[in-house]
Amino acid sequence: MAKNKSITTKHAIVQTATRLIWEKGYSDMSTKMVANELDMSPGNITYYYPTKDDLLCILVDALCKFQRKLIADEAEDGISSVLAVCLELMSMASACESNPIAKDFFISSYQSPLTLKIIRENDTVRSKEVYKDYCKGWTDEEFAEAEILVSGIEYGTLMSLDEHVSLETRILGALDKILIIYGVPEDLRKTKIKKALSYDYKHIGERIFKEFKEYVDKTTEENFEQMLLNIKK
């Protein structure tokens, strides 16, 4: 079967942009840099991706898929979904603490309306499954409203500039607030958070971000095409 030239070009643009993001940071990456790397005109880049944020959408969608895969893998290892979600936020916060490139990527993802929409929509679907036992009778609208609050808590945890508040304190407070929003009982909240904090979350943050970059790098052209279709839905 002949390859779709448009998909091939889009894939090449995203691959190049991703490499530049991992090297320079999302904030310092530009579509002009991508054009120069590919020996294309900036206009050709913006034809496919009008703004930098449109490129970021591809990575954020990949991040959501990667996180769902992690939760599924952890479930097979006997880790509950609630604990897995706690570990997810811990790993992101820890990566932001130790890696400026990671922090720039995650913070940019929460600041862009385009990518924040992807995060909230994906997390809403996931939360319906993870917290279904504590949110019986909730409507789709209530889950969506909850994720607006949760994404704000996550953003505040990731971007904190207050050096007087330790990473552990920020994580503890954020996880407690998020689990309260979803009606998780106090005793269970304490158990899950204590268990999460017992992990070497600094090492986990470094490892997970490394694995995410590898996951993106291995995305095939066929998988990429499906990813584009999902974003358009």
Which tens digit of pLDDT belongs to each residue from 1-41? 445 677 788 889 999 999 999 999 999 999 999 999 999 99
Please answer whether residues 193 and 176 qualify as being in contact, where contact means their C-beta atoms are separated by less than 8 angstroms. yes
Tens of pLDDT, residues 38-59: 999 999 999 999 999 999 999 9
Residue-averaged pLDDT of the chain: 88
Query: Average pLDDT of 67-93?
Result: 83
d(CA 214, CA 68): 16
Instruction: Please state, in angstroms and as integers, the Cα–Cα distance from residue 62 to each residue in 78, 125, 212, following that order.
Output: 25, 16, 9
Residue 216 has pLDDT above 60, yes or no: yes
| Euclidean distance between CA atoms 12 and 19, whole angstroms | 11
- Cβ atoms within 10 Å, residue 28: 12
Each as own residue / partner, the long-range contacts of residues 143-149 (CB below 8 Å, 24 or more positions apart, any chain) are 144/120, 146/181, 146/182, 147/120, 147/123, 148/120, 149/181
Q: Show Cβ contacts of residue 175 under 8 Å, excluding neighbours closer than 6 positions.
A: 86, 89, 90, 189, 192, 193, 196
Q: What is the pLDDT of residues 173-201, one digit of tens each?
A: 999 999 999 999 999 999 999 998 898 87
Percent of the chain residues past pLDDT 90, beyond the cut: 61
